Amino acid sequence: EVQLVQSGAEVKKPGESLRISCKGSGYSFTSYWIGWVRQMPGKGLEWMGVMYPGDSYTRYSPSFQGQVTISVDRSISTAYLQWSSLKASDTAMYYCARQRDGYNYRYFDLWGRGTLVTVSS
Amino acid sequence: QSVLTQPPSASGTPGQRVTISCSGSSSNIGSNTVNWYQQLPGTAPKLLIYTNNQRPSGVPDRFSGSKSGTSASLAISGLQSEDEADYYCATWDDSLNGPVFGGGTKLTVL
């Protein structure tokens, strides 16, 4: 089955570090971009960044540049999103999604179920 | 403030046809294809329409998309109770060099 499986919910304190994961299966993981999308409580979708697992090339939204790090372990078909110092405002649901690309089209065709991150003292 | 503008809410009765609009600019909708995502309550977004008007396998033909200039719209005909969800338009933004989303439209089936 083609799927993205995300790690479980996390509860952290401000200032702590965190890494959440997204494991792809059922397809060639290194052949498709993987994006990360934030959804704050009761809010809409925000693109954070995208990585091409084949060569680890990564681009970030200006809104998230320097705030998070996207990485990959190709050996286990897993992408990661990490924070070095969490803030309460990082409380949100985080989705990974596979991006399909072609001439003049890009869209997320496969989504993980999301990882809920709660940051509270 | 989202780059793409959608009405925050829409509603209709079962069997009706509803449309949801999405407005952008020349750097996004005006020069790229538009996609729509459906997010049922408590679930992850799901691709509903891609490349302006294409439906992924399994999406009923009650859902259709269109684009004209710097605007796009999603139409849902024969509205059903299970269509109650949040709907997001999205496209690529050449200035951002990344995807942008609309703020989402909450569809209520009365």
At residue A104, the pLDDT reads 78
Name the more confident of A104 and A31: A31
At residue B51, the pLDDT reads 97
CB contact at 8 A, B48 and B38: yes
Q: Is the pLDDT of residue B1 over 90?
A: no
Q: Six-digit token pair at B7?
A: 């009405």
CB contact at 8 A, A63 and A29: no
Is B29 in a helix, a strand, or coil? helix
At residue A70, the pLDDT reads 98
CB contact at 8 A, A82 and A68: yes
Residue in this structure with the two tokens 């959804």, named with its chain if needed: A39
Yes or no, beta carbons of B50 and A105 under 8 Å apart = yes
Which residue in the set A47, A108, A113 is minimally distant from B100, CB to CB?
A: A47
Q: Six-digit token pair at A46?
A: 């925000």
**Considering chain A, what percentage of its residues have pLDDT values greater than 90?**
96
Identify the band that residue A103 occupies on the pLDDT scale cut at 50, 70 and 90: confident
B52-110 pLDDT, tens digit per residue, is 999 999 999 999 999 999 999 999 999 999 999 999 999 999 999 999 999 999 999 99
B54: chain A residues, CB-CB within 8 Å: none
Yes or no, beta carbons of B104 and A44 under 8 Å apart = yes
Residue of chain B nearest A109, judged by CA positions: B47
- Backbone φ, ψ for residue B31 (5° rounding): -130, 10
- Backbone φ, ψ for residue B88 (5° rounding): -120, 130
Yes or no, beta carbons of B47 and A109 under 8 Å apart = yes
Residue type, A23: K
At residue B11, the pLDDT reads 97
A72-101 pLDDT, tens digit per residue, is 999 999 999 999 999 999 999 999 999 998
At residue A105, the pLDDT reads 84
Rounded to an integer, what distance in angstroms lies between the CA atom of residue A19 and that of residue A50? 16
Identify the band that residue B13 occupies on the pLDDT scale cut at 50, 70 and 90: very high
Burial A34-66 (b: 16+ CB within 10 A, else e): bbbbbbeeeebbbbbbbbbbeeeebbbbeebee
CB contact at 8 A, B71 and B24: yes
Q: Looking at A43-47, A99-103, B22-26, B59-63, which range is the least confident one? A: A99-103
